[in-house]
Amino acid sequence: MVDVSAKSPTVRTARAEALVRMAAPARKALLDATAPKGDALVTAQIAGIQAAKRTADLIPLAHPLPLAHVGVTFAWTGDGLRIEATATTSAQTGVEMEAMVAAAVAALTIYDMAKALDKGIVLERVRLLEKTGGKSGRWVAE
């Protein structure tokens, strides 16, 4: 792990996204909350939040962070679902990994909840959208 002991804690935030593409019948089942396993969006939201809290257990050199907030939201696009995850902490290192893990696990949960309806679901573009705080300040994706 990188030694961050000399750094002062600052408020840090991160936003990340994941895209999930699927066929119309799966999209309709998720919209109507009639997927075979139940309400996929609520389940994916909880999974993303739980995953962010466990990031240091999943990413070997990530620092365990005291998360002040984690949020997971959804927006329907033409042929799929855009997942956005946010994370906030006051710490000596950033929360980019927590936001990206939350988005990725929420996307995997959508796949799991809808795979009986569409085996061809595609998870795309897990990426950092924005981060704030720390020595490097604010960064926004192009």
pLDDT tens digits, 80-103: 999 999 999 999 988 999 999 999
Q: Quote the tokens at residue 28.
A: 């309709």
Q: Which pLDDT score, from 0 to 100, does residue 79 have?
A: 85
- Overall pTM > 0.75: yes
Give the C-alpha separation, 129 to 116, whole Å. 31
pLDDT value at 122 more than 90? yes
CATH class for the region spanning 10-133: alpha beta
Residue-range domain boundaries for the chain: 10-133
SS3 of 48, please? helix
Q: How confident is the model at residue 70 (pLDDT cuts 50, 70, 90)?
A: very high
Q: Catalytic: which of 3, 32, 39, 112? A: 112
- 39 part of the active site: no
